[in-house]
């Protein structure tokens, strides 16, 4: 089973060994995909915000699922769980808890962004 499939809630913002395993221990590729993620996730989060504002649970489910896949690639258990919770609420048509889950996800993404940007800076600096 892939290390990120069932993330534990108490693991850190991201799991570097798991991230390296995803890219076959290729650090250059790891930096490249982190940079791709840092460009990709704001667009996905924008889709989530729009769906929450519109109260469109179907669009929210789609966007949350895409975000879950994207943060899964970063071996980021907390952000992954937040995206999974959001997808679950959207699928269950529960908009109110979905709004809270979206806020929680945004917070986790902010932490993840800082951690990944710092990691890239260390590897490229």
Partner 1 sequence: MRIVLADDSDVTRRILSAALARFGHEVIAVADGEQAWAAYEQHRPPMMILDWQMPGLDGLDVTRRIRGAPEGADVFVLMVTGRDAASHLTDALAAGVDDYLSKPATAEHLAARVRIAEVRIEQTSARRRAEEALAKAQWLAGIGHTALALQHEINNPLMALLTHAQLLSEDAEATPDVRAGVTTIMAQARRIADVVRRLKELKEPQAVEYLGTSRMLDLGARRS
What's the closest the beta carbon of residue 13 comes to partner 1, in angstroms? 16
Q: Are 78 and 106 in contact (CB under 8 A)?
A: no
> ∠ at Cα 35 (38, 65), nearest 5°?
45
What's the closest the beta carbon of residue 10 comes to partner 1, in angstroms? 20
Measure CA 67 to chain center: 5
Nearest Cα residue to 37 out of 75, 7, 92:
75
What's the closest the beta carbon of residue 84 comes to partner 1, in angstroms? 9
Q: Is 13 in the site for partner 1 (CB under 8 A)?
A: no
Which residues bind to partner 1, rule: CB under 8 A?
1-5, 21-24, 26, 29, 32-33, 36-37, 39-40, 62, 65-66, 68-70, 72-75
């Amino acid at each position: 089973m892939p290390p990120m499939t069932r993330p534990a809630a108490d693991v850190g913002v991201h799991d570097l060994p798991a991230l390296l395993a995803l890219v076959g221990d290729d650090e250059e590729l790891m930096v490249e995909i982190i940079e791709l993620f840092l460009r990709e996730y704001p667009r996905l989060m924008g889709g989530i915000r729009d769906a929450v504002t519109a109260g469109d649970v179907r669009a929210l489910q789609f966007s949350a699922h895409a975000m879950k896949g994207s943060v899964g690639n970063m071996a980021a258990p907390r952000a992954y769980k937040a995206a999974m919770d959001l997808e679950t609420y959207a699928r269950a048509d529960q908009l109110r808890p979905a709004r809270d889950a979206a806020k929680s996800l945004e917070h986790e993404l902010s932490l993840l962004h800082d951690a990944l940007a710092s990691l890239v800076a260390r590897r490229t600096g």
